[in-house]
Structure 1
Amino acid sequence: MTAAMAHPKLLLLLVLCTALLQHGDGRPSRSRKQAPGRQRADEEDMKAQIDKLWQEVNSLKEMQALQTVCLRGYKVHRKCYLAIEEPKHYHEANEDCIAQGGTLATPRDIQENNELREYAKRSSPGSKDFWIGVTDIVKEGQYVDVNSIPVTFFNWDKSKKQPTGGKRESCVTISLAAQGRWHDEVCRSQKKYICEYLIP
């Protein structure tokens, strides 16, 4: 569904919600007065219909927001990537991605890693590195993603003997200078970052 198609549906759903609220459910009544039980059942039915419509409106809004991100960023397989130019420390970067409905990008295999590197090079020429969603903050040497799930794919820069930082360097960047290899860094360093959005 395109963003242009989502707008009319949103408008139609909002009009229906408003009409239901103002005029009831649109069914003619046989008499002016209904039994209290029947009236309560009708009100509950109308409330259920309105709740369902609001769920559809919110779902369409989420899809539209995701499409906007994908238009600004890069779509690959079932993900969209969006590079953020304003440097932040790791935790701020992670919170910003979450606030936008995504997470810090986490490559799951060499193909994703290479696509992420190529996108980063195109979107921000001259940049050195970007935060990705991999850390060993909780337990030294046990790398997890932003959902605390153990990471099984690694692309460390072995020429620099990465990871090197011990407890001091617990957050991971993808280095464009090192052809997409990973470096561990001090989490409070200011870096650009890439958010990842899953496409349903």
Structure 2
Amino acid sequence: MQLERVHFARRADRSRYIADRFGHALQPSLLDVGCDRAVLRELLPLERYTGIDMGGTPDLRLDLEATERLPFEDESFDAVVCSDVLEHLDNLHPMFDELVRVASRHILISLPNNWCNARRPIARGKGHMAHYGLPLERPVDRHKWFFGFSEAREFLQGQLGRHPLQIVEMVANEKPRSAPIRALRRMRWPGERYLNRYAHTLWVLFRKQS
């Protein structure tokens, strides 16, 4: 597994990372699940792009939590990308199955490390965590699952026993920090503990086996 230093200040930054880092595996036809403003359409040389979301500017407006079956035939797309979407869904597990069903070659999944995001407010004893908490009004968007890096990796690796998949690449992201800071952190929290504290996103590129 590779650990890459990158920070996503905006959703468009995440799309550019996807295009630069994994774009070679996301062609010629792509289903972008949770596409928001469909930025990937302009970033990749695609023959066919379909973006689905309940907000933004998708090709198809779709509430994934109210969807049992995606409105596409089996293996309709060469590739499917689903970046930081599954954690928003109560029906995370059946929706993962649907992503595999409609892909013919590659599936790119990213999951956030919620432990990383919670680390500072818990340590300080104050603050808030995005997509969690107890707001006065019911939020439109929130996370339905709280998990750390290790759990995210175990979940995605576990899909190899449920689907005809193999992992092509597994990548973790951490925010850019100086080498001395990273070294001190690794001394204090070695191995998996470092990833659970500081790796903010996990990416897995799957290849579907025929």
| Shared fold, TM over 0.5 | no
TM normalised by structure 1 equals 0.27
Higher strand share: 2
Normalising to structure 2: TM-score of the pair?
A: 0.26
Question: Which structure has the greater CA radius of gyration?
Answer: 1
